[in-house]
Structure 1
Amino acid sequence: MNRKLVKILVSVLIVLTILGIVAFVVILNVSGEQKDSSELSLDEMVEYSFTTSDMNTDLKDGSFVRIQFQIITDSKKAKEEIQKREFQLKNIFIKESVEMVEKDLQSGLTGLEDRMKKKMNELMLEGNIKEVYVVGKIIQ
């Protein structure tokens, strides 16, 4: 082969390798930024959160519970929507608590929070609920 042709081929391979490495680095950084942007900062969590009023209901075993939730949404519009849908949130909680006993609320709060989040997200039109936290609970 011609020396000039070999130099051109080596140059092209080097350029393609460098472009491949640059593309790989850019793709990793861009996808990493998208994952980070989906996470809310603490200030955003506070800004987009809504605290329900106290909800009272009876449980299957005859106990009574008073509970309060902190709902974290992903936007201001979602926060406004969840405020308007508080009556639906209360309804979902009452339906969820029908089969619960005192013991379920002593140890199974994470499951309740997850079910509340899932069912409310099915109703949401403007944004999503990111987290549901129990912030107050009294069982009697």
Structure 2
Amino acid sequence: MKNNKLVMIMLILLVAIALVGAVAIVMVLNHNGQDQTAEPTIDEVLEASVDIPEITTNLAENAFVRISFKIQTDSKEAKEELEKRNFQVNNIIILELSEQTAETLKGKEGQMQLEETLKTRINEVMQDGEVEKVYITQFLLQ
């Protein structure tokens, strides 16, 4: 009878220790997963970004724009692909700008919409990664 109680106490302790260990493992794994989804450092952003030199093009009306961009990708491989696709990116930018009017590009909302449109259109041609963000780095509307 005493042996049964002792065996039962040992089993309960083993189960409790196993549960504490399992909870600890789950917490450690979740904590490591959060670190991987953290925002990249500025150095990592710059390593995966491509500068698009100044482009001057006509808009849909009697106006033109001089504009340049920095495009942030999700990896170094995507950056390399984007550099090779420079002619396609320039084409996409010129085509999108040719549909814009000076009025739509004047405000913050219009420029943010252009950035999102370019991101979507460039991602359509990307194969080894994707564009995370498009930044307008210079902008002159005349």
Q: 1:1-140, aligned counterparts within 5 Å? A: 2-36=4-38, 39-107=39-107, 108-140=110-142
Report the alpha carbon displacement of residue 18 of structure 1 after superposing the two structures with TM.
1.0
User: What's the TM-score once normalised by structure 1's chain length?
Assistant: 0.84
Report the alpha carbon displacement of residue 132 of structure 1 after superposing the two structures with TM.
0.9
Report the alpha carbon displacement of residue 84 of structure 1 after superposing the two structures with TM.
2.1
Distance in structure 2 (CA, Å) of the matches to 1:138 and 1:12: 71
Distance in structure 1 (CA, Å) of the matches to 2:48 and 2:56: 25
Structure 2 gap ranges (5+): none
Aligned residues: 138
Structure 1 gap ranges (5+): none
SS at match of 2:53: coil
User: Aligned-pair RMSD on alpha carbons?
Assistant: 1.9
Distance in structure 1 (CA, Å) of the matches to 2:73 and 2:113: 19
User: What's the TM-score once normalised by structure 2's chain length?
Assistant: 0.83
